[in-house]
Homo-oligomer: A and B are copies of this chain.
Amino acid sequence: MSQATHNNEARRPGMRALAIAGRVLFPPLSIFGFWYLAVAFLGLPDFVIPRPGAVLSVLINENHFILENLWPTLQAAALGYLLANVVGIALAVIVTSVPFLNQLLMPAAITLRNVPYVALATVLALAIGDTMLSKVLILTIAGFFPVMVNTVRGIQSVDSVVLDRMRILDVSPWRVFWQVRLPYSLPFIMAAQEIVGSASISIAIAAEWMLSSSGLGYVINRAMSQYRGDEVYAVALLAALISYVVYLLIQYASRKLDWLGKTRPTK
């Protein structure tokens, strides 16, 4: 009895099949459903909001140029995402362990984040040029803040009784960080991953749009100047799909990593 009783997740097989069907069918239903609603509701001509059919046909038949430019964007997004995490978590650690650095770093961090992107792009383009690094820096600047803020909260959420245990045992701050604070922060850090991870493609695209001649951002730039709304939205759709996959991967990783999930009651 004790198994069944404590396992609230037991599902009937019918429910399972439905769940799988939902997982496969719901995303397209969701995306195209809302798209058609927008088209119908806004009443704009199709050179402004192209119809899903035209966009899909671009993705299927004219994808060469898009796919060619997918790789640099993915690279920039992945590197920027990584760096945003490194910087964000490092800052969180610094700021929580040396409180006065909080007041010293935070205003600069917020200012950096508030330099208008166009001004930032100008500076980066001149200082570094149209390179991977420029894009990665823009992504870092756009992404480190949510990671930092959430990690700080996470670090502060550690159960005080466990910290007492660490103090009694005179455990090094380093180990406490890696083995206690970081795992305790995971629910917060994983939330930041969902936020930053699923946005990194579209930020990479925005960065490319401003300062690069490769990548999906450039494709959009070119497509807009050619009045190829269908191509613009094809890129947007592709970006959304990738972001959704990233989001699902992060959710999967959360479920694996996140101890909170294991103590969580299912309803």
Cross-chain contact of A118 among B29, B156, B199, B224 (Cβ < 8 A): B224
**SS class, residues of chain A in contact with chain B:** helix
Cross-chain contact of A119 among B103, B115, B122, B233 (Cβ < 8 A): B233
CA distance A195 to B163 in the complex (A): 27
Contact A26 B103 (CB under 8 A): yes
A114 touching B33 in the complex, CB below 8 Å, given contacts A26-B104, A126-B48, A191-B150? no
Chain B's closest residue to A205 (CB) is: B116
Judge whether A14 is part of the interface by a CB distance below 8 angstroms. no
Interface size class of A (residues with CB under 8 A): 35 or more
Give the chain B neighbours of A164 by CB distance below 8 A: 265
Contact A107 B26 (CB under 8 A): yes
Contact A123 B244 (CB under 8 A): no
Contact A105 B160 (CB under 8 A): no
Which chain A residues in 191-234 approach chain B with CB under 8 Å?
191, 194-195, 198-199, 201-202, 205-206, 209, 217, 220, 224, 229, 232-233
Contact B261 A116 (CB under 8 A): no
CA distance A29 to B135 in the complex (A): 28
Give the chain B neighbours of A106 by CB distance below 8 A: 27, 30, 244, 247
Contact A187 B153 (CB under 8 A): yes
A239 touching B112 in the complex, CB below 8 Å, given contacts A153-B188, A199-B145? no
Chain B's closest residue to A22 (CB) is: B103
Judge whether A127 is part of the interface by a CB distance below 8 angstroms. yes
CA distance A157 to B154 in the complex (A): 12
